[in-house]
Amino acid sequence: MTSRLPRKFSLRPFTPSGPGIVRALDVRVEEPAQGTFDLRYTLHADLSRLRVPATRSPRHTDELWKHTCFEMFVRKWPDSPAYYELNVSPSTEWALYAFDDYHRNRADVRPSTPPRVHVAREPDRLQVDVRLDMRDLPHAGGMALSAVVEDDDGDLGYWALKHASPKPDFHHPDSFITI
């Protein structure tokens, strides 16, 4: 990563949600120490119209993307298709995966320090702060930021910096940017 951090990004919906549900979704990215990422996802929305998982004990949990969840993708090496995927739920559950290439050879990754997740809820705002220590994992190159937001009907909305394919696909190689 470059020294241009911290940076704030606004995610865009793949398709807009119903009127007045989600107004904006912002992500602030910092790297306070080489290989340590602080992420702050701020969802501006009518939370009474969203399904937000209740807080649970922090632990590695699969399939978080089936409900409201916040994601970060990081390339392992510059000019390489290999990458990591971090999923974080407002429940404080998390998952970290490594891929060799686009959707290929997924493996669970258990960093020496598990991600720390803190959640603050207000009627019109959900803030999810994440600290991810990747000092023991190779990483460099691009990053992609995204989120899945579940409304009160169970419909999923897909938010990302870039939507690079005709369907929601956060793994798409063109979704990564250099920051």
DSSP 48-75: GGB--PPP----B-S-GGGSSEEEEEEE
The domain in which residue 112 lies consists of 7-175
Residue 12 belongs to a domain: yes
pLDDT at 17: 58
What is the rounded CA–CA span in Å between residue 64 and residue 128?
A: 14
Model confidence over 129-144: pLDDT tens digits? 999 999 888 887 789 9
- 85 pLDDT exceeds 90? yes
Residue 1 belongs to a domain: no
Question: What's the total number of domains in the chain?
Answer: 1
What CATH number does the domain containing 90 carry?
Answer: 2.60.40.1190
Residue 119 belongs to a domain: yes
Residue 31 belongs to a domain: yes
Residue 164 belongs to a domain: yes
